[in-house]
Amino acid sequence: MKNIFQESKIYLNFLNILKILNQIQVTPIVYGSLGLALQINEEIQVNDIDLLLTREDDNKFQKLISVLINNSFKIDPDHCREFSSADCIVSAIALKEIEELIKNRKIELIPAEINGLKFYNLTLPIHKQIYEIGLNKLRKVKKERSDTDKINLIAKHIAQK
Q: Tell me the pLDDT tens digit for each residue of 18-38.
A: 998 899 888 999 999 999 999
Domain ranges of the chain: 9-123
Burial tier of 2 (Cβ tally within 10 Å: 0-12, 13-18, 19+): exposed
Pairing of strands 79-84, 89-94: antiparallel
Is residue 7 over pLDDT 70? no
What dihedral do alpha carbons 8, 14, 19, 21 form, nearest 10°? 170
Furthest C-alpha separation in the chain: 43
What residues does 82 pair with on adjacent strands?
91
Q: How much is the pLDDT for 147? A: 79
pLDDT mean over 34-53: 89
Say which range, 41-50, 99-108, 145-154, has the weakest mean pLDDT: 99-108
Is residue 1 over pLDDT 50? no
Q: Could you confirm whether domain 9-123 is CATH 3.40.710.10? A: no
* CA 157 centroid distance within chain: 19
